[in-house]
Amino acid sequence: MPQTDVLIIGSGLAALSAAYYLKNKQVTVLTKSSWVESNSMLAQGGIAAAIGPNDSWQSHYQDTIEAGCFHNQENNVALLVQEGSREILDWVERGMTFDVDENGRLLLSKEGAHHHNRIVHAGGDATGREITQFLYKKVCEKAHIVEDEMAVDLLVDHNQCIGVVTKNKEGKLTTYTADYTIIASGGCGAVYGHTSNTHVITGDGIAMAYRAGAKLSDMEFIQFHPTMLYQNGKCIGLISEAVRGEGAVLKNQLGERFMKEIHELGDLAPRDIVSRAIFDEMKNGNSVYLDITKISQFENRFPTITKMCLDNGINLEKGWIPVAPGMHFLMGGIQTNEHGETNVPHLLAVGEAACTGVHGANRLASNSLLEGLVFGKRVAEFLSTKLTSSYSSYLKESLDQYRGVCNVELPTKEQIQDIMTNYVGILRTQSELEYAVKWFESYQKRNFWDFNVKDFTIEQIERLNMVTIGWIISMSALKRTESRGGHFRKDYPAQNNDFWKQRQVICCKDDIHVGV
Ligand code: SIN
């Protein structure tokens, strides 16, 4: 039975940052696919850091909580923006190459809802790929990296997390015991049909933590990115907000710039506002485009986006890219404190899987890679001070008893995505949410307690996880009878101060409850 001091589930930037900073510990990184299959690798725009001459952490802090509709956990936001700037400069010192001007100064670009140019980027629009690869090379030297094994269930003994059971494509189960387990497996983009996330992001880490008794919070807050490349009714990939930061504007097919009248920041308003405006245009029968004609040398500044457009037959000479909003980021997740600790002893979470509250009800652009770096380091520094003893007493349950076959009734991924898109999407209503909750319950209640997930195939486990996450998002959205950030209720379109700072917390041992 493999044993390790610290087990990290996931291979994106938060996972790698934690692995890099863990000192004097044996570290195993587990990922269900190849290590490159993460949302961090797809992140385009960059990393927000208040390092420009007229910028300050206070301004970054203010922009973060305004975009988050004042739902943010303020202490953690202060940690994010203060430690974030230092972190970027440290990575530059370690040799990470961000884009610079002809004098070698870091280029800082602008994105929505930022009042300063503060986005560092790499490879033009390949920031996530560049920094994730850079960290991976460093982590490889010290951690054991296991690919193509899916974490299917946490091991909990005397209420303490002591590791995880994994399954590989051939159906082989393996038990990994660890003194500490960190979930860094990302959010749940694939529960929606239109998403910027990689298809493997089916909410596995969050659902698994829920089954183990971890508290989840803020699950109703879903960020839809306004501009995904849209063709033949499908969202194909992300068109970074940095494109608007460099001067692109949104227009409908008549050439009307509809954002001007909606928000003082126009095309660079917070993402929830821009996404709803585009959604409304489309509902009214209009098509929406990003007009990039004002950006000089677009292909040099945005090589990844240029390639994606050309691969999909978009004529960039004309300068109009068809766009639509798609699920991009989960603001909620496994509830953690500033060290990544959850309510389950020895279980931690970091990155999009976690909810530290830094993003509030709507994440500020380019704060997610920053969160991965800062909180990955915080978790690692916290654990580096702990004694480890390689837990090995978990031998109570033999894995041989699982046959790996189970005729469980679960919906297809497409059915789940249709329900989430049509009933729990950008605009929500009581009746639609009630329908979604009932639909998910018909599977969740039946299957959740009666079977053991270790008997499911990987594909079945993903679908069960998607059902669990869909059900929790729908329930949380139904209970929040106001609109705030990434949660918009047509029947309650205004913010309600009674909900201000109220976090909806859900735990399998409890019903949903509201806490601060
Ligand atoms: C983008 O490049 O627009 C995405 C970056 C982010 O989500 O912060």
Label each residue of 139-197 as H, E or C.
Answer: HHCCCEEECCEEEEEEEEECCEEEEEEEEECCCCEEEEEEEEEEECCCCCHHHCCCECC
- Read off the pLDDT of each residue in 300-318 and give the average, rounded to a whole number: 94
Residue 355 CA to residue 172 CA, distance in Å, equals 32
Q: Which of 229, 243, 328, 358 has most ligand 1 atoms within 8 Å of CB, for mutation?
A: 328
Q: Is 241 close to ligand 1, i.e. is its CB under 6 Å away?
A: yes
- C-alpha closest to that of 227 among 288, 282, 315, 318: 288
Q: Categorize the per-residue pLDDT at 36 as very low, low, confident or very high, splitting at 50, 70 and 90.
A: very high
pLDDT digits (tens, 9 = 90+) for 323-353: 999 999 999 999 999 999 999 999 999 999 9
Q: Determine the pLDDT at residue 390.
A: 57
Residue 8 CA to residue 478 CA, distance in Å, equals 33
Q: Whose CA is nearest to atom 8 of ligand 1?
A: 366
Task: For residue 363, give the DSSP letter.
Answer: P
- C-alpha closest to that of 18 among 373, 259, 445, 484: 373
Among the residue ranges 206-215, 233-242, 439-448, the one predicted with the least confidence is 439-448
- The two three-digit tokens of residue 407, written as one number: 């005729």
What is the Å distance from ligand 1's center to 44 Cα? 6
- Read off the pLDDT of each residue in 98-116 and give the average, rounded to a whole number: 95
Q: Over 80: is that where the pLDDT of 483 sits?
A: yes
Q: Determine the pLDDT at residue 244.
A: 96
Give Cβ neighbours of residue 433 (< 8 Å, ≥ 6 apart). 423, 424, 474, 477, 478
Tell me, yes or no, if 378 is annotated catalytic.
Answer: no
Q: Over 90: is that where the pLDDT of 510 sits?
A: no
Residue 131 CA to residue 122 CA, distance in Å, equals 8
Task: For residue 336, give the DSSP letter.
Answer: -
- Given the residues 118, 244, 271, 463, select the one marked as catalytic: 271
Q: Determine the pLDDT at residue 391.
A: 56
Q: Over 60: is that where the pLDDT of 447 sits?
A: no
Q: Which of 64, 111, 364 has most ligand 1 atoms within 8 Å of CB, for mutation?
A: 111
Residue tagged 């690798």 (tokens): 41
Q: Determine the pLDDT at residue 398.
A: 66
- The two three-digit tokens of residue 184, written as one number: 């860094």
Q: Whose CA is nearest to atom 1 of ligand 1?
A: 240
Q: Over 60: is that where the pLDDT of 515 sits?
A: no
Q: Over 60: is that where the pLDDT of 267 sits?
A: yes
pLDDT digits (tens, 9 = 90+) for 181-222: 999 999 999 999 999 999 999 999 999 999 999 999 999 999
Query: What is the rounded average pLDDT for all residues in the chain?
Result: 93
What is the Å distance from ligand 1's center to 259 Cα? 19
Q: Determine the pLDDT at residue 514.
A: 61
Q: Determine the pLDDT at residue 446.
A: 57
Q: Over 90: is that where the pLDDT of 389 sits?
A: no
CATH 3.50.50.60 in the chain: give the residue spans. Answer: 1-221+331-395
- Read off the pLDDT of each residue in 358-383 and give the average, rounded to a whole number: 97
Q: Categorize the per-residue pLDDT at 262 as very low, low, confident or very high, splitting at 50, 70 and 90.
A: very high
Q: Which fold has domain 227-326?
A: Flavocytochrome C3; Chain A, domain 1 (3.90.700)
Q: Determine the pLDDT at residue 404.
A: 66
Under DSSP, is residue 230 helix (H, G, I), strand (E, B) or coil? strand
For the purposes of burial, counting CB atoms within 10 Å of the CB of 316, is it exposed (0-12), middle (13-18) or buried (19 or more)? Answer: middle
CB 333 within 8 A of CB 358: no
Q: Is 223 close to ligand 1, i.e. is its CB under 6 Å away?
A: no
First to last CA, the chain: 41
Task: For residue 43, give Cα distances in angstroms to 304, 341, 504.
Answer: 11, 26, 28
What is the Å distance from ligand 1's center to 182 Cα? 25
Q: Strands (DSSP E) along 262-345, which ranges?
A: 288-291, 320-330, 333-335
Residue 467 CA to residue 399 CA, distance in Å, equals 25
Q: Categorize the per-residue pLDDT at 516 as very low, low, confident or very high, splitting at 50, 70 and 90.
A: very low
What is the Å distance from ligand 1's center to 196 Cα? 10
Q: Determine the pLDDT at residue 500.
A: 84
For the purposes of burial, counting CB atoms within 10 Å of the CB of 429, is it exposed (0-12), middle (13-18) or buried (19 or more)? Answer: middle
Residue tagged 């986006």 (tokens): 305
- C-alpha closest to that of 271 among 320, 234, 228, 335: 228
Q: Which of 110, 196, 241 has most ligand 1 atoms within 8 Å of CB, for mutation?
A: 241
What is the Å distance from ligand 1's center to 48 Cα? 10
Q: Over 70: is that where the pLDDT of 445 sits?
A: no
For 119, phi then psi, to 5°, come to -100, 110
Q: Over 90: is that where the pLDDT of 388 sits?
A: no
Q: Is 43 close to ligand 1, i.e. is its CB under 6 Å away?
A: yes
H/E stretch holding 434: helix 430-448
Give Cβ neighbours of residue 8 (< 8 Å, ≥ 6 apart). 15, 18, 19, 27, 28, 29, 30, 143, 182, 184
Q: Over 70: is that where the pLDDT of 3 sits?
A: yes
Q: Over 70: is that where the pLDDT of 410 sits?
A: yes
Q: Over 50: is that where the pLDDT of 505 sits?
A: yes
CATH 3.90.700.10 in the chain: give the residue spans. Answer: 227-326
At residue 280, what is the residue type? D
Q: Is 368 close to ligand 1, i.e. is its CB under 6 Å away?
A: yes
Q: Over 60: is that where the pLDDT of 393 sits?
A: no
Which residues face 6 on adjacent strands?
27, 180
What is the Å distance from ligand 1's center to 28 Cα? 29
CATH architecture, domain 1-221+331-395: 3-Layer(bba) Sandwich (3.50)
Q: Over 50: is that where the pLDDT of 434 sits?
A: yes
User: What percentage of residues in the chain have a pLDDT greater than 90?
Assistant: 87
CB 428 within 8 A of CB 272: no
Q: Categorize the per-residue pLDDT at 37 as very low, low, confident or very high, splitting at 50, 70 and 90.
A: very high
Residue 299 CA to residue 318 CA, distance in Å, equals 14
